[in-house]
Structure 1
Amino acid sequence: MIRANNSLLEEEIQPDLTPLLDIIFIVMVFLLLTASVRLQSLEVDLPQTETKTLQETEADPVTINLASASPYWALQSAPIESWNEFTQALIKEMKKNPQRPVVIGADKAGSVEHMLKLLAFLQQHDIKATQLLMEEEES
């Protein structure tokens, strides 16, 4: 009987580890969620140019338009259905007169993916985009 009482005393003296385990798991989840994650990005080396308005450019610019719905691409206001057709037309246009400035106008609701794809293509073919058209916010 004395032993039975001793075993009861030993069970009462042992700490309950359940709250400690809960805290350890919460801290682990916090550390996993706040760990730094490497963001995937595309490095695009944009050319440095002086700011000019469209009226100040010397030559008639090559205009590229990006739309939010298909067809996504337009060159000189002519819609082009596919990316391959667009790139071929742009290269052909730039070969006619490589000194012509390039103006890019993108729809506000357009895909960022299409803009990055275009900028990467321009950089790859050493085509300098002199202007990105933007709408000023009204104050």
Structure 2
Amino acid sequence: MISINNNQQNADELNPDLTPLLDIIFIVMVFLLLTATVKIKALEVELPQTSTQILQTTKADPIAINLVSTEPYWALQGQPINNWDSFTQQLLTEVKTNPNKPVVIGADKKASVEQMLKLLAFLQKNDIKATQLLMEDQP
């Protein structure tokens, strides 16, 4: 039969050593304190200018998508389209009938970023590759 004496030495042997647990708790606390107070800072950078021509002309007549700052926001091949559903259906039809034509996006600089992101998400979802984004060279 196993018997436990009530002396202090045997009681200390039965208690677990909490030192490794305390070490882990302190490490986690330090990690949380360091990551919780980090502020994301953005730097203003000046983008490099290039002397080469940015846009290359394509041999095929491209499918042109235009974003403008006022309603209707969308235009396909220069024709304004009043709502998003009509625009997406016409774009899908155009891409299916002309799969070899590149897709070119031209956005007004005052156009809504929300509309641009909506368009890019739609293109990605339907696996449509936009080969060019139209930009204006600065002198």
1:53, CA displacement in angstroms? 3.2
| 1:2-41 correspondence to structure 2 within 5 Å | 35-36=37-38
In 2: Cα distance, 1:83 partner to 1:54 partner: 29
1:100, CA displacement in angstroms? 0.7
What do the CA deviations read for 1:111-135 (whole angstroms, capped 9, x no partner)? 0011111011011111110000011
In 2: Cα distance, 1:84 partner to 1:54 partner: 31
The percent identity for this pair of structures is: 60
How many residues in Structure 1 have an aligned counterpart in Structure 2?
93
8 Å CA contact 2:55–2:134 kept in 1: the answer is no
User: Residues 116 and 59 from structure 1, CA distance in 2 versus in 1: closer, same or farther, beyond 3 angstroms?
Assistant: same
1:52, CA displacement in angstroms? 7.0
| 1:90-129 correspondence to structure 2 within 5 Å | 90-129=91-130
TM-score by length of 1: 0.61
User: Residues 104 and 36 from structure 1, CA distance in 2 versus in 1: closer, same or farther, beyond 3 angstroms?
Assistant: same
**Greater relative CO, 1 or 2 (CA 8 Å, sep 6+):** 1
| 1:57-96 correspondence to structure 2 within 5 Å | 57-96=58-97
User: Residues 83 and 131 from structure 1, CA distance in 2 versus in 1: closer, same or farther, beyond 3 angstroms?
Assistant: same
For structure 1, list consecutive stretches of 5 or more residues without a partner in the other structure.
1-33, 39-50
1:54, CA displacement in angstroms? 4.5
Secondary structure (helix, strand or coil) at the match of 1:104 reads: strand
In 2: Cα distance, 1:101 partner to 1:52 partner: 16
User: Residues 129 and 36 from structure 1, CA distance in 2 versus in 1: closer, same or farther, beyond 3 angstroms?
Assistant: same
What do the CA deviations read for 1:64-94 (whole angstroms, capped 9, x no partner)? 0000000000000000010000000000001
2:135 maps to what in 1?
Answer: 134
2:55 maps to what in 1?
Answer: 53
Secondary structure (helix, strand or coil) at the match of 1:94 reads: helix
In 2: Cα distance, 1:35 partner to 1:61 partner: 49
For structure 2, list consecutive stretches of 5 or more residues without a partner in the other structure.
1-35, 41-52
User: Residues 137 and 95 from structure 1, CA distance in 2 versus in 1: closer, same or farther, beyond 3 angstroms?
Assistant: same
TM-score by length of 2: 0.61
In 2: Cα distance, 1:61 partner to 1:54 partner: 12
1:99, CA displacement in angstroms? 1.4
RMSD: 2.4
